[in-house]
Amino acid sequence: MNFRLFFRLFLGQCLMNLFVLGILLACAHYFLPYFSISFLYQNEIWNVRLFIWILAIIVALNLVFSFYIAVHLSSVFEEVRAKINWLLLGKYHHTIFDSKLVTTSWYDNEQLLASDIDHLRQRLIHLTSDLQEFTSAPVFLGENTKEEVIESERSRIARELHDSVSQELFAAMMLLSAINYSTQGSLPSPVDDQLKKVNEVINDAQTEMRALLLHLRPIDLQGKSLKQGIEQLLRELQHKVALEITWSLDDPQIETGMEDHLFRIVQEGISNTMRHAKAKRLEVYLSASRDTVSIRIVDDGKGFDLKEKAKLGSYGLSNIEERAKGMGGRSNIISSPGQGTILTVTVPYKPLFNYLA
């Protein structure tokens, strides 16, 4: 029950009843010459003055009436509020929408309100579906689609980086290993410390290059499901990067266009972790409910200050946010300096079949 509503109703009823009582007493005193207000004070019932009985009856009736109205209105208000909150979360197929409000009297408007909410829900479902279809539909630039043109250019840049910078980094690492092997601790301590720092710099550069190549030349699903594609990606990364990677993946049955976008979100999230977080542990979760699919990427890296919103673009999170919005979903970031980062993306969807049943 909404206690604020109850107290407001109670105080309002008390003031109104006292006002009406005052008018009645004034009329009685004016029109009835034998009536005196002192009569209420001088007479008693069971040793309690009459005016106290009148006030007690007014308070009791107001309490009962206010309690009934507050409970009735609160139940309707709470259900409406809950439905709106689920709509805001994108859970358009939640079980709460299966329940119907029961009309208790002819003057209640709950059914009209419930009908309006259901129309709003259906409208949001259609808009989300249209938005996802529009996002997944190819945009042609000449004979090729926009995605094909972008991917072709990214692949070209990635090949050049792999054939030049990546190979040079590998060669530098091999030369450094040869120097360490040939000297075998015979170098002075300051020089040895500098070589260790160079080794760390090259390792960081190689990790940055792997993340950049993953971002520029992402792996395609190639007929695999979203779960299978993420599993393959994470297993390959386990052998290439110095990260402890764990995952837990559901297998949502969704349209291919949405799968591609969600897979790219996972890739970009992992790429951001590899490039910026300096993390030792990475966790990836894919979960599906009745009407939403969620991706959560957790790392124990250095984190960043969310108040510095200008850095969000440099962390590559703006692309993830745009992809999520393009599917009618939302993204959320929890991070603080030294405490790691949690990236959550939630997208509404309609299963191809009810695999959760």
Quote the pLDDT of residue 216.
66
Quote the pLDDT of residue 259.
86
Residue 340 to residue 38: CA distance in whole angstroms: 76
Quote the pLDDT of residue 36.
72
The CATH number for 223-357, chosen from 3.40.50.2300, 3.60.20.30, 3.30.565.10, 3.40.640.10, is: 3.30.565.10
Quote the pLDDT of residue 108.
58
CA 23 to chain centre: 57
The full 3-state SS of the chain, as one line of letters, equals CCHHHHHHHHHHHHHHHHHHHHHHHHHHHHHCCCCCCHHHHHCEECCEEHHHHHHHHHHHHHHHHHHHHHHHHHHHHHHHHHHHHHHHCCCCCCHHHHCCCCCCCCCCCHHHHHHHHHHHHHHHHHHHHHHHHHHHCCCEECCEEHHHHHHHHHHHHHHHHHHHHHHHHHHHHHHHHHHHHHHCCCCCHHHHHHHHHHHHHHHHHHHHHHHHHHHHCCCCCCCCCHHHHHHHHHHHHHCCCCCEEEEEECCCCCCHHHHHHHHHHHHHHHHHHHHHHCCCEEEEEEEECCCEEEEEEEECCCCCCCCCCCHHHHCCHHHHHHHHHHCCCEEEEEECCCCCEEEEEEEECCCCCCCCC
pTM over 0.75: no
* Cβ neighbour number for residue 279 with a 10 Å cutoff: 20
Quote the pLDDT of residue 250.
92
* Cβ neighbour number for residue 2 with a 10 Å cutoff: 15
The residue ranges of every structural domain in the chain are 3-133, 140-217, 223-357
Quote the pLDDT of residue 139.
58
Taking the alpha carbons at both ends of the chain, their separation in whole angstroms is: 34
Residue 48: strand pairing partners: 45
For every one of its 357 residues, what pLDDT tens digit does the chain have, with 9 covering 90 and above? 667 777 788 888 888 888 888 888 788 777 777 777 676 667 777 777 777 888 888 888 888 888 877 777 666 677 777 788 877 777 777 777 776 655 555 455 666 777 777 888 778 777 777 776 776 666 555 556 666 666 667 667 767 776 677 777 777 777 777 777 777 766 677 777 787 788 778 877 777 777 777 666 656 667 788 898 899 889 988 887 888 999 999 988 888 778 888 988 998 898 888 888 888 999 999 998 878 899 999 999 888 887 775 555 555 678 888 888 888 888 899 988 888 999 999 988 876 555 444
Q: In sequence order, what are the residues at sequence separation of 6 or more whose Cβ sits closer than 8 angstroms to the Cβ of residue 153?
A: none
C-alpha distance from residue 354 to each of 36, 323, 350, 357 (Å): 77, 25, 9, 6
